[in-house]
Amino acid sequence: MAAVGSAEYALQHLIDPEVCIRCNTCEATCPVHAITHDSRNYVVDFAVCNNCNACVAPCPTGAIDHWHQVVKAMPYTLDEQLSWDNLPAPIELEVGSQAEVPSDVRALTEIATAGQGGPSAPPWSASHPYVNLYSQGRPAVATVTGNYRLTDEGASADIRHIVLDFGTAAFPVLEGQTLGVLPPGMDDSGRPHHVRLYSVASPRDGERPRYNNVALTIKRVNVDHDGKPVLGIGSNYLCDLKIGDKVNVVGPYGASYLMPNHPGSSLMMICTGTGSAPMRAMTERRRRRRALKEGGELLLFFGARVPEELPYFGPLMKLPKDFIDINFAFSRLSDQPKTYVQDRIRDRVDKVFQMLTDDNCYVYLCGLKGMEAGVIEAFRDVCRTNGSDWDALKPQLLAKSRLHIETY
């Protein structure tokens, strides 16, 4: 299929014939009978499939786990799929290449990833991300379907969980990607407000599985970095949105801060505040696939001033201890000394060193710029305690795409 014009896109569920072992599990599982086969291939009928994903977990090979973006009016037919030996290459969309990411978004990304020397390669087993499908001249229009406060009403930080629904517009995202929001109105020089980037906080199959929606974790900016009162344009616009409001969205962006997919891969996640958004997405992806027993550990360091200001504190506390190892750090508890994520990393020196030196462990850092230096110093100490050298280890982590930093 060739590049397409301004058509309506959809995600088409496909089965990879190269990987499929023709075990019939998917056809037997599909509740709407969208899957059929001949002597050659198992195929999915686009007109019948409701993307319920019931077939995905039971598939023993993962051949079933493919969604290609197609022009909605021109999906792959059953005859086409039955003739395949391999999946076709994903279609080239009108505006879909990393090279075409707008310069202002590229600049923000470069600043955010400065701590690792700029954007890097993704983990070798990461899924292929779509980038830059929607531009400022042609944004996707999403509908707000959720907006609730994550932090306690009394807490000074107003952090919100906002759910955007894309209706029939294809907006495929992977955990760790960002999207851009275009706040309405003009800036002081009479130009449209520039794009604001936000990390996706939900897994690839939607905030609600099988819905075409995405969650964001937004902090209302009401003081600037120096503590002066200010009303942040993008964050206040988002935090004040009502259910049913429409939002212009661009992106998705990001082709390196992605999670590994191979069984046995572990994640070390370090975040503060809204830096929890990509960690929530990755954790939720792993939680939804837990029954597959793919293995791999999750180690989380999460910092806030007090528990009341920690987004997703309640749901995190409910996760099983053998699923995720959570280490909170609170810096403003009246009865305890100030503790930051770097202190908790030092407390777990053996575990952290083991994971830093495990080629199957991928390290993610996200939050305000200020957290980065302390975490890197803690890694340096962890290495030193174990007779190793962070300055020698860091380039190895980067070369293996095992260290991912996004701070803003």
Ligand X SMILES: Cc1cc2nc3c(=O)[nH]c(=O)nc-3n(C[C@H](O)[C@H](O)[C@H](O)COP(=O)(O)OP(=O)(O)OC[C@H]3O[C@@H](n4cnc5c(N)ncnc54)[C@H](O)[C@@H]3O)c2cc1C
Write out the residues near ligand X by the rule CB under 6 A. 108, 112, 178, 196-199, 217-219, 221, 224-225, 230, 232-236, 274, 277, 406, 408
The Cβ of residue 126 has, within 10 Å, a number of other Cβ atoms equal to 22
Would strands 66-71 and 9-14 be described as parallel, antiparallel, or unpaired?
antiparallel
* Comparison of 25 and 177: residue with beta carbon closer to ligand X: 177
Angstrom distance (rounded) from CA 363 to CA 263: 16
Distances (CA, A) of 138 to 132, 171, 182, 215, 338: 11, 13, 11, 21, 47
List, in order, residues 6 or more apart from 321 with CB less than 8 Å away. Answer: none
Angstrom distance (rounded) from CA 203 to CA 173: 8
CA dihedral 396, 256, 163, 156 (to 10 degrees): 50
Q: How far is the CB of 138 from ligand X (least distance, A)?
A: 21
Q: How far is the CB of 162 from ligand X (least distance, A)?
A: 10
Q: How far is the CB of 323 from ligand X (least distance, A)?
A: 23
The Cβ of residue 326 has, within 10 Å, a number of other Cβ atoms equal to 17
Q: How far is the CB of 233 from ligand X (least distance, A)?
A: 4
Q: Closest Cα to residue 276, out of 157, 137, 144? A: 157
* Comparison of 30 and 133: residue with beta carbon closer to ligand X: 133
Q: How far is the CB of 373 from ligand X (least distance, A)?
A: 17
* Comparison of 52 and 368: residue with beta carbon closer to ligand X: 368
* Comparison of 21 and 373: residue with beta carbon closer to ligand X: 373
Tell me if 218 sits within 8 A of 179, measured CB to CB: no
Find the residue with minimal CB distance to ligand X: 232
* Comparison of 123 and 234: residue with beta carbon closer to ligand X: 234
Q: How far is the CB of 113 from ligand X (least distance, A)?
A: 8
* Comparison of 198 and 301: residue with beta carbon closer to ligand X: 198
Q: How far is the CB of 17 from ligand X (least distance, A)?
A: 37
Tell me if 386 sits within 8 A of 353, measured CB to CB: yes
Angstrom distance (rounded) from CA 25 to CA 30: 9
Burial of 1 (0-12, 13-18, 19+ CB in 10 A): middle
* Comparison of 74 and 114: residue with beta carbon closer to ligand X: 114
Angstrom distance (rounded) from CA 354 to CA 393: 13
Q: Closest Cα to residue 309, out of 262, 274, 361? A: 274
* Comparison of 52 and 233: residue with beta carbon closer to ligand X: 233
Q: How far is the CB of 178 from ligand X (least distance, A)?
A: 5
Q: How far is the CB of 151 from ligand X (least distance, A)?
A: 12
* Comparison of 201 and 356: residue with beta carbon closer to ligand X: 201
Burial of 280 (0-12, 13-18, 19+ CB in 10 A): buried
Q: Residue 382 is encoded by which pair of tokens?
A: 């962890």
